[in-house]
Structures are given as structure tokens and as C-alpha cells.
Amino acid sequence: MGNGQLDAMKPAVYLIDVTNRDGVQTSRILLPKLSKTMLNTYLDEMGIYQSEVGFPTLRHEVNYINANLQLAKIGAIKRLHLEGWCRAIPEDIELTFKNCPDIKHLNVSVSTSDVMLRGKFQGRKTWKDILHSLVGSVKLAKQLGAETLGVNAEDASRTDLDRLIEFIHAGRESGADRFRYCDTLGADDPITIYDRIKTLALATNFPIEMHCHNDLGMGEAVSVTGAQAAIESGADAYINTTINGYGERAGNCDLVSTILALKFSHGLKDRIPLDDHVDLQRAWKVAKYASYAFNLPIPINQPGVGSNAFAHESGIHADGALKDRRNYELYDPEDVGRGEPELLETGRIITTGEYGGIKGFRHVYDSLGIHFTDDNQARKVLELVQYANLHTQKPLTDDELRLTATYPDIVRQVLTVAL
């Protein structure tokens, strides 16, 4: 087009990371609230559009969510939308705004497929009941202050398209801003999802979120082809991701792989524009931190961030890579923020944490360039550091220590749960 204004209006793909909701609800993997908070700050630095922060109706999430909303209010989280997830029933909407009055972004979810309607509601809810509850929920959320709201069709990939179109119209007419297509079982493939999303986008011209699971090993493939169908039909597209693909069963669509696919794959790189705030060079930092915080290793062959992603040994490959890296590498380590050596202290080390005292605490913070002149303030932050470490049960990272010293009152709220 060549015209800047027209270019700015072209549809683009925006990323909504759901690690702090779908990732943490997963069986047998856990994330402390302080780590969820760190992930929100890293996602913000990475230029991700939105983070699904968790469940505002769940009591142990409430302080953490309100504290993160406060971080956004004071500008510590700059652009990232902090969005809550709840069921599409008016009771959940009421409780959400009672618990978190400042929340501005929501996604509300309900099952739409016949198999789930029969299997979950056992005949207690008809399709008309579902739509009625959806409309009531969206209207109430907008009345109570939601600025953006997505309507999620759980099990959309096993739902008739006519029914999904009806769902989208009902959502839009009651004030929703986006539709989330959930491939809840990971059953779609790139060709079927392309066709289905194209039909929905052409019939409704409504922004579509792709929420895809990896049960067939195609989580990213179906997400990007679904987004492509939306964009090619003139609609904005959003892709739900999780860091390192952590999520239910075989996981969700992986954040870094999705960005790599949009930036480097033959079919997408020049045709499907990605939100230009996204900074792929933050990938290494966010993936490494999530791995540390979840206590889960990054697979050796993980795209971009696995330890073998830029390793070459076999004769022909090593020779080719040494002559010209482009022989065997699609992108560079620096593209994903790698390349700097990581130094590991092998001599004397002073740490601070759960059982630390004031001298060690001051030493650690001095080395971070943070100096406490007020003794009372130092003792207050030391106590918070003790509790933060009690909470995470692993050595606090430099960024966790910085966050604790910079926003002590907010971190205190993150660490506090009430029964």
C-alpha cells in the first residue's frame, strides 16, 4: 500500500499469553504468585499485548491480581492488558468485580459443543440457555467497567459453525470485543482450522482469538493458520500462547515458537503482520525464567530457546554452519536474545532469603546497586525478602529482589493470601 496511515490500519496478529491462567491450572505444575507477577512484567517488556493473569473469582488469586493491577496503575506495567478469566455466568461477573473492582479486561467462557452440552450439563442447559447466560454476562461486565471483553467458546473445534456464528453475533450485540475459538482438545489441523476460521471471519468480520492445544503436536501450526485465515478475511487476529508451551495435557501453543513462525516461516513472514511491539530478543529471558519458576527444564530441542537450538556437531552440518551459518540456521541466537555467556559463581557467595540477616541483605542489594539509607526501610524489605523466599522456595533472582525493593507494598500484597 505504501501509505503509512493505511499500513497502520492493516489487521495484525496480537499475542495474548495465558501462562498465568491455563499454564498454572495444569496438573502437577505450580507457580508462586511472585513468579506470576514477574512473568507479567517480563511479558510487558516483551511487548506482548495481553496477559491472562488468572481467576478473579478464586480467593487466593485476588490479592495477587489487585497488586498487579496496581503495578499497571503506577506505570510499572506499561502496555500489557491484565485480563481475568471467568465463566460466562452473571454470578462470576459480579464476584469478579467485587473482588477486583479495577479490572478492565475479561474473557468469559462457556462450552458450546453438543458433546460438552450433553456431557457436562447433562440436559440441564439448552443452547438457548447458554446464549442467554452469555448475553447477561457480557452486558453486566460492560456495566461494571470492563473495557475489553472476549467471549470464549470452549470446544469450538467440535461445535457447528452456524452455532458459533450465532454465538459471535450474540456476544457482539451485547458488547463483546472479541471471540475466542478454543480448540480445547487440540483436535484441529492447519487445513480444517483455516477453513473454519475463514468462514467465521467472513460471516461476522469480528476479531478472533486462537486458543489451541498441542495434543496432536500442532498447537502452533493451527494457531498461526487460524490467525492467517482471520487476517486474510480482514479481521484482527489474536493468538493465545503459553511460555515454553506449558499447559493442560500436552500443553498450549508456545509463545516463542509462534513468534518465530510468524517472523521466519516462508508462508507467513511477509504476509501476516505481527504486532510490532513484540520484541523477540526478550525470548531467552522469559523462557529461562519460566523454566526456573515452574521447576521444569526447557527441552533440549525447544525452538529458539532449547540448548541445542543452535548446536552443530555432525560433520556435514558443522562444516556447513562454520562456512556460513545460513546453511543450517534459519535465524540467529541473537534474534532470541542469546549469545552472551552466562557466568556462574564458583567461589564465595553471599545470598539473602528466608533466614537471612541485615548484613548479608545489605551486601546483596549493594551489589545490585540498591542502597538503603533508612534502617527501618532496610529491615522492612529484609522481612519481605524472607517471606518472598518462603513463598517461592528457591533462591530469589536479581529481578525478584529488585521488584521487592522497588515496590515493597505491592509485593507484600502479592505474598498475602487470606482464608
Binding footprint of Zn ion on the chain (CB under 5 A): 22
Give least dist CB 240 to Zn ion, A: 7
What phi and psi values does residue 121 have, to the nearest 5 degrees?
A: -90, -10
- Rank residues 99 and 152 by Cβ distance to Zn ion and give the closer one: 152
In the bound complex, what is the minimum distance in angstroms from residue 155's beta carbon to Zn ion?
A: 10
Output b/e per residue, 133-156; b: 16+ Cβ within 10 A.
Answer: bbbebbbbbbeeebebbbbbbbbb
Q: Which three cell numbers stand for residue 2?
A: 505504501
Judge whether 14 and 275 are in contact, CB under 8 Å. Answer: yes
- Shortest spacing between CB 216 and Zn ion, in angstroms: 15
Nearer residue to Zn ion within complex by CB, 23 or 207? 23
Q: Which residues contact 150 (CB under 8 A, 6 or more apart)?
A: 83, 106, 107, 108, 176, 177, 178, 179, 180, 209
Least distance (Å) between residue 107 CB and Zn ion: 11
Burial class of residue 49, CB neighbours in 10 A (0-12, 13-18, 19+): buried
Name which of 156 and 384 has its Cβ closer to Zn ion. Answer: 156
Whichever of 180 and 282 has its CB closer to Zn ion, that residue is: 180
Minimum separation from the CB atom of position 203 to Zn ion (A): 24
SS3 content of the chain, % helix, strand, coil (to 5): 50, 10, 40
Q: Is the dihedral of CA 332, 333, 335, 336 positive or negative?
A: positive
Closer residue to Zn ion (CB): 137 or 223? 223
CB of 48 to Zn ion, least distance (A): 17
Residue with Cβ nearer Zn ion (22 or 335): 22
Question: DSSP alpha helices (H): ranges in 100-160?
Answer: 114-121, 127-143
CB-nearest residue to Zn ion? 22
- The amino acid at residue 345 is E
Instruction: Rank residues 164 and 411 by Cβ distance to Zn ion and give the closer one.
Output: 164
Under a CB-based contact definition with an 8 Å cutoff, are residues 353 and 395 in contact?
yes
In the complex, least distance from residue 258 CB atom to Zn ion, rounded to whole angstroms: 15
Residue type, position 168, single letter: I
